[in-house]
Structure 1
Amino acid sequence: RAADLERRAALGVSHVLYEKSPGGIVASARRTERWREEVESAAGEHDVDPGLMEAMVLLESAGRPEVIAGDDPEAASGLAQILAGTATDLLGMKVDLARSRALTRRIAETEAAIARSKKRSRSEEPKARTEALMELRRLPVHERRLRARRAAVDERFDPEAALDGMGAYLEIAGERFGREDLATASYHMGIGNLENAIAAYREETPADDLGYARLFFDSSPLRNEEAWALLASLGDDSSTYLWRVLAAERVMDLYRDDRDELARLAELQGAKATQEEVFHPESETAPFAAPGDVQAALGDGTLLPLPDGEPYGYAVDPGMGELAAKLGVEPSLYRALRPEALATLIYMAARVRAINGGKGELTVTSTVRDDRYQRELLGVNDQATAAYSLHTTGYSFDVLRDYSGDRQAEAFQFMLDRLRALDVIDYAYEPEAIHVTVSDEAGPLLDL
């Protein structure tokens, strides 16, 4: 079960890797792969998994040895994104922070000078262009020397030393926790924070060999609440770090073994603000073209009408399907979903109500559409798309961003994040609603 949860979680959170990788995921994987020999050396020295370390490099720095999380090198820096305090206090790395800061400022000034010279090199004035071209021969050499000097006083910017630091951390954390998954999860949240979450979990639910999948998925506002609160309080995606590392490991495997598939996934991941087109690619998913197609789908069970939501914790917006009259049909035609999407909506709403003390309803504002309805919507809704819409497949629904109070809003956010981590849904914020798309992983909810 833990392996399946890890697989699903890695898939569920993978969109962010494609969305935020500098230059795209393929370029980031290419930069990361060039450090493979150094990764294997450091991993061997510290008896850790080189594939896991390589994935962490992709996630942490996208293979860029000079990157800083902000402007100040006291923050996470270098190929392994190690904090200055962690580097010196835990890992015994050489970090002269004052000199590192001074050199970082000089590097930034040199980069700015290079940018100005590049602009001047396109000048129509011959003298200015010549001077700029001469500067462009000098400045990059000067910049490389500054970077070398910084790496000498701050080992986090020395790729081999940084990777050794990452390996050393994983070795220390592995000895502390006795498990690779916990050691990896602690790299982002810190050993102490993870120990506190484990202690809180065991206070309510005794567990000897507690893995991260169980800690994460068995903690919620309704069960092992203190452990969940500790993980949620970190607020910087620390709780999903392990899942993103596993997603990065899959990316690196695809880069080496199936680059065409990686490119295909990159295209699908980039099509929308979520990974909904990975769930249901346009080439494999027939939309409903016209009202008659929606009616036929309701007749054969491909779509199911929304039941009264009051017992489950949702209400149907009375304006849903309001453009139906323009197509000569009733609004109720556009109040339906695929069975797995409907099961997800019911499950989500019921859990939100339970977390909210048995009170409140979510308001569903949109479900299935057809292509003709979608075209009508373009004239009145600037959030509507003329491209492939998952609403026209019955896999998507929207929930109004209007809640009975903070507790209901927090409960809904928890369910969105938890179901995303299970690869059941992905979601996007729109000005007035949350747009939710359901994957095929929702199938088991049909049996609830």
Structure 2
Amino acid sequence: MGLTSSRLQAASLLLLALLIGGGFAMRGHTAPDERSDGPLPDPPVRVLRTSAPDPFAYSEAKRKDFERRAAAGLSHVLYVKSPGGIVASARRTARYRPLIERIARRSSLNPDLIEAIVLLESAGRADAAADPELEGAVGLTQILAATGQGLLAMEIDTGASRDLTAKIAQARLGGRPRRVRRLEAQRRRVDQRFDPKEALEGTARYLISSRRALRREDLAVVSYHMGVGNLTNVIEDFGEGATPSYVRLYFDSSPNRHAAAYRRLASLGDDSATYFWRVLAARSIMRSYRRDPDALARTAGLHTAKASAEEVLHPPGSTPVFEDPEALEDAYRAGELRPFPAEPKRTGLRRARQMGDLARRLKRGRRLYRGLRPESYALALYFTRMVRRAGGGSKPLVVTSTVRDQTYQDLLTTSNPEATTEYSLHTTGYAFDLFRRYSGKRQAEAVQFALDRLEALNLIAWVREPAAVHITVSKDAKALTG
């Protein structure tokens, strides 16, 4: 039977409604990288120009800035390993300030540096001992028995000191404080490393002697951990006549520049190369403690929140987080994020296939989760260039993860034990993960060089995870985007 005119009209209206509804449905399920307001931008692949000036190459004009950067970049260990926390350690150390100033004044030494050595070496604990046999580092400034007995002419009887230390421990367990104090006084006489005044004077004698030999106070401080002989060899390997500052010795040495000096520093393997930066970090901490201990406590909270200093670079609450896929889309369109390209030959970075795997469960395309903030992307390119120039070869490094939104992060925590349920730097666009599989030993060593150097420049915070290196990029990397 044919349709009447009224039925035809109703059918037409129904068809129109279906078409309109279908239109909205199609718009809701457009290509995953598109929304109703069009596709995401697809900017040209950016690479670092080899002719462009390097904003982080060392020059004497940058010496103070590099010292400041290194002190900040290498400070994390002081915050996370200080007994009782950094504020308590600073409080203990500050008690010795009057004594330090008297000794420094007589010795024409910088009291801030001596105080920093105390904080770094012992956290202000006069009875600190690295070795139960007491042959190793002991006391406020962690003096070795052999160094104290020989070079510093200190009274040190390690056998008697061990016996008294055992008796002190027994007296403490027995709740006999008066006996503890009496035994500690005896120990200070047989082992002057346990006497704060004698330990500080011994350290002052060492610094005076090494300053005379090395002709610079910064090098004298470096030698306190490295030794005058080792440091002299590094300086000779560096060459160029006049004795350089330590900031130049460190930052102007690399696998491809002053390579002999770099290799010798790297071969020490006991953190000697970064000791001076940690002393400067300790100096900054003591200044902060005197100026505003509450601010120091807040900084400590940022340092201890994660296994790296990533929250110091981007504190929660003051760093924007991408809450959902729509926020990511808006950020791409505004240029706050840029796509991470699949161009390994041009960028030196290979995008892992699984990057953005969970996007489908959010009804989005993977491309949404393959991007970084412009400064983070520029830092990744800079990192690759450092690796290649350091002898790491041309094989691309693999990036396994870049930006996420909070919705994606929450989903990831259900399947990935490394994913945090708290504030994740991936949700800010400032973090990426580098796969820990390299083409060989040389590339692995070059990657480690780049990580260490960029951390010392306070451009990144990083932590080694089971399968990847998690890297958080400082806003200062914006200098690389020009």
Q: Say if 2:239 is the partner of 1:239.
A: no
Paired residue for 2:197, among 151, 156, 160? 160
Paired residue for 1:79, among 136, 140, 151? 140
Query: How far apart are the structure 1 equivalents of 2:166 and 2:396?
Result: 53
Q: CA deviation at 1:357?
A: 5.1
The aligned counterpart of 1:320 is 355
SS of 2:350 mapped into structure 1? strand
The aligned counterpart of 1:99 is 160
Q: CA deviation at 1:223?
A: 1.2
Q: CA deviation at 1:93?
A: 1.1
Q: Say if 2:398 is the partner of 1:363.
A: yes
Paired residue for 2:229, among 192, 205, 215? 192
Paired residue for 2:263, among 208, 229, 245? 229
The aligned counterpart of 1:293 is 327
Percent identity (aligned): 51
**Which structure 2 residues correspond to residues 388-407 of structure 1 after superposition, within 5 A?**
388-407=423-442
The aligned counterpart of 2:183 is 146
Q: CA deviation at 1:433?
A: 0.7
Q: CA deviation at 1:326?
A: 0.8
Contact preservation (8 Å) 2:133, 2:158: no
**Which structure 2 residues correspond to residues 276-287 of structure 1 after superposition, within 5 A?**
276-287=310-321
Query: How far apart are the structure 2 equivalents of 1:334 and 1:233?
Result: 40
Query: How far apart are the structure 2 equivalents of 1:31 and 1:11?
Result: 22
Letter in 2 for 1:191: V
Q: CA deviation at 1:409?
A: 0.9
Q: CA deviation at 1:427?
A: 0.3
Q: CA deviation at 1:269?
A: 1.0
The aligned counterpart of 2:8 is none
Q: Say if 2:120 is the partner of 1:59.
A: yes
The aligned counterpart of 1:182 is 219
SS of 2:398 mapped into structure 1? strand
**Which structure 2 residues correspond to residues 203-222 of structure 1 after superposition, within 5 A?**
206-222=240-256
Contact preservation (8 Å) 2:255, 2:391: no
The aligned counterpart of 1:415 is 450
Letter in 2 for 1:83: L
Letter in 2 for 1:425: I
Letter in 1 for 2:181: R
Residues 1-43 of structure 1: per-residue CA shift (max 9 Å, x gap):
1111100000001111110010000000000000111111111
SS of 2:317 mapped into structure 1? helix
Q: Say if 2:319 is the partner of 1:259.
A: no
The aligned counterpart of 1:118 is none
Q: Say if 2:100 is the partner of 1:39.
A: yes
Q: CA deviation at 1:354?
A: 2.9
Query: How far apart are the structure 2 equivalents of 1:355 and 1:188?
Result: 27
SS of 1:283 mapped into structure 2? coil
Query: How far apart are the structure 1 equivalents of 2:397 and 2:241?
Result: 36
Contact preservation (8 Å) 1:353, 1:361: no
423-432 or 102-111: which moved more? 102-111
Contact preservation (8 Å) 1:8, 1:422: yes
Query: How far apart are the structure 2 equivalents of 1:312 and 1:186?
Result: 40
The aligned counterpart of 1:16 is 77
Residues 200-242 of structure 1: per-residue CA shift (max 9 Å, x gap):
001xxx1414000000011111111111111111111111111
Q: CA deviation at 1:105?
A: 3.3
Contact preservation (8 Å) 2:438, 2:444: yes
Structure of greater Rg: 2
- Where in structure 1 are there 5+ consecutive unaligned residues? 115-134
Relative to 1, partners in 2 of residues 1:141 and 1:163: Cα closer, same or farther, differing over 3 Å? same
Q: CA deviation at 1:63?
A: 0.5
Relative to 1, partners in 2 of residues 1:357 and 1:19: Cα closer, same or farther, differing over 3 Å? closer
Query: How far apart are the structure 2 equivalents of 1:425 and 1:197?
Result: 27
Q: CA deviation at 1:44?
A: 1.4
Q: CA deviation at 1:110?
A: 4.1
The aligned counterpart of 1:274 is 308
Q: CA deviation at 1:244?
A: 0.6
Query: How far apart are the structure 2 equivalents of 1:280 and 1:375?
Result: 20
Query: How far apart are the structure 2 equivalents of 1:184 and 1:210?
Result: 14
Contact preservation (8 Å) 2:392, 2:444: no
Aligned length: 420
Query: How far apart are the structure 1 equivalents of 2:442 and 2:475?
Result: 30
Q: CA deviation at 1:386?
A: 1.2
Query: How far apart are the structure 2 equivalents of 1:82 and 1:16?
Result: 21
Residues 250-294 of structure 1: per-residue CA shift (max 9 Å, x gap):
111111111221111011111111111111111111100111111
Letter in 2 for 1:216: Y
Query: How far apart are the structure 1 equivalents of 2:131 and 2:415?
Result: 41
Query: How far apart are the structure 1 equivalents of 2:168 and 2:433?
Result: 47
Contact preservation (8 Å) 1:334, 1:368: yes
Paired residue for 2:206, among 163, 169, 173? 169
Query: How far apart are the structure 2 equivalents of 1:107 and 1:218?
Result: 49
**Which structure 2 residues correspond to residues 420-435 of structure 1 after superposition, within 5 A?**
420-435=455-470
SS of 1:143 mapped into structure 2? helix
The aligned counterpart of 1:302 is 336
Relative to 1, partners in 2 of residues 1:215 and 1:288: Cα closer, same or farther, differing over 3 Å? same
256-265 or 364-373: which moved more? 256-265
The aligned counterpart of 2:481 is 446
The aligned counterpart of 2:419 is 384
192-201 or 41-50: which moved more? 41-50
Paired residue for 1:88, among 128, 143, 149? 149
Relative to 1, partners in 2 of residues 1:108 and 1:69: Cα closer, same or farther, differing over 3 Å? same
The aligned counterpart of 2:26 is none
Could you state the TM-score of these two structures normalised by the residue count of structure 1?
A: 0.91
Query: How far apart are the structure 2 equivalents of 1:174 and 1:430?
Result: 41
Query: How far apart are the structure 1 equivalents of 2:226 and 2:261?
Result: 14
RMSD value, Cα = 1.3
**Which structure 2 residues correspond to residues 333-344 of structure 1 after superposition, within 5 A?**
333-344=368-379
- Where in structure 2 are there 5+ consecutive unaligned residues? 1-61
252-261 or 190-199: which moved more? 252-261
Letter in 2 for 1:424: L
